[in-house]
């Protein structure tokens, strides 16, 4: 089978897709992957055929904006989110061009979080299955911020999803027009779900207590598989292992930078 994989972001965003590509290649499949220009070498060093995808990372989001994002969000939520999403709309046409070439004759298209809306349209155009790799609980849920009422958190997620669609609707409509697809009347997540896309949750369910239960109704369309890595070593491995061996550590969820409400036996 021929698999087309696309992912955009830093090394941590890209590694899950590269690890999947390596395993598919090991099993004898034809795999091509699109990654940010700076990470072409990383993907090729893993033995995958890689093409550049999207702009250089520094052009996508400025360091100063990232450092001050939460302050901006508290002062002007709508404005901060629009600024955060502006690069998605700006580079949408470029990603569409890459995806059309990458996914031609492919049996399946896989996408990471960034530009998944563009990938959804391309998968619809080619009428092929779509796989989404989520290393963060992107879809609306009531568990992400346990200190707030679940209904409020879930409503906030739905609002954010709708605002993203409205902020990028011109780019979405333009791509769909070029592809000969009908104009969308709902956000991308609704459309891809209707087509049967599988949203792989590439993180441990225990890191967001209650989420697996809330999403149980989605069944096999939102499986929790744990972190997808290549098992590479780092210079900090020994220090981290020693720190873990010392025990008695609280667990913090990288998903939202809050302490998980786990029993002591589970949070070490």
Q: What is the Cα gyration radius of the chain?
A: 19
What pLDDT does 262 receive? Answer: 39
- Rounded CA separation 91/36 (Å): 12
What pLDDT does 52 receive? Answer: 98
- Rounded CA separation 32/5 (Å): 6
Tokens representing residue 90 in the block: 């700006």
pLDDT by 10s per residue, the chain, length 268: 999 999 999 999 999 999 999 999 999 999 999 999 999 999 999 999 999 999 999 888 776 776 777 787 778 877 777 788 888 999 999 999 999 999 999 999 999 999 999 999 999 999 999 999 999 899 999 998 899 999 999 999 999 899 999 999 999 999 999 999 999 999 999 999 999 999 999 999 999 999 999 999 999 999 999 999 998 887 888 888 888 888 766 655 444 433 333 343 344 4
Give the bridge partners for 224, in sequence order. Answer: 201
Where does residue 82 rank: exposed (0-12), middle (13-18), buried (19+ CB within 10 A)? middle
Distance (Å) of CA 74 to CA 58, 82, 154: 24, 14, 19
The domain defined by 2-60+91-232 folds into: Rossmann fold (3.40.50)
Q: Which residues contact 243 (CB under 8 A, 6 or more apart)?
A: 249
CB count within 10 Å of CB 146 equals 18
Strands 258-259 and 252-253: antiparallel
What pLDDT does 251 receive? Answer: 57
Q: Are 111 and 9 in contact (CB under 8 A)?
A: no
3-state secondary structure of 6: strand
- Rounded CA separation 104/184 (Å): 23
- Rounded CA separation 68/133 (Å): 27
Taking the domains of the chain in order of start, what are their residue ranges?
2-60+91-232, 235-268
**pTM score, whole prediction:** 0.86
Q: In terms of Cα–Cα distance, which of 132, 118, 129, 95 is closest to 181? A: 118
CB count within 10 Å of CB 144 equals 22
Q: What is the DSSP string of 26-60?
A: HTT-EEEEEE-GGGHHHHHHTT-EEEE-SS-HHHH
Q: Where are the beta strands (DSSP E) in 49-101?
A: 49-52
């Amino acid at each position: 089978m021929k698999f087309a994989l696309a992912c955009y972001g830093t090394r941590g965003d890209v590694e899950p897709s590269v690890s999947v590509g390596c395993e598919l290649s090991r099993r004898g499949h034809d795999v091509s992957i699109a990654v940010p220009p700076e990470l072409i070498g990383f993907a090729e060093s893993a033995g995958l055929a890689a093409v550049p995808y999207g702009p250089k990372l520094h052009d996508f989001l400025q360091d100063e904006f990232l450092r001050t994002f939460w302050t901006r969000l508290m002062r002007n939520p709508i404005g901060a989110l629009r600024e955060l999403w502006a690069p998605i709309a700006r580079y949408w046409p470029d990603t569409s061009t890459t995806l059309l070439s990458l996914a031609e004759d492919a049996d399946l298209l896989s996408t990471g979080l960034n530009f998944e809306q563009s990938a959804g349209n391309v998968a619809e155009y080619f009428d092929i299955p779509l796989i989404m790799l989520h290393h963060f609980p992107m879809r609306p849920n009531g568990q992400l911020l346990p200190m707030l009422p679940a209904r409020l958190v879930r409503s906030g997620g739905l609002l954010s999803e709708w605002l993203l669609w409205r902020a990028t609707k011109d780019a979405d409509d333009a791509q769909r027009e070029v592809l000969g697809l009908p104009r969308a009347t709902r956000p991308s997540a609704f459309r891809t779900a209707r087509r049967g896309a599988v949203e792989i949750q590439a993180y441990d369910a225990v890191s967001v207590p209650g989420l697996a239960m809330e999403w149980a109704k989605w069944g096999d369309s939102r499986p929790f598989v744990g972190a997808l890595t290549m098992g590479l070593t780092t210079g900090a491995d020994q220090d981290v292992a020693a720190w873990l061996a010392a025990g008695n550590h609280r667990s913090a969820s990288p998903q939202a930078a809050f302490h998980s409400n786990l029993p002591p036996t589970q949070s070490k």
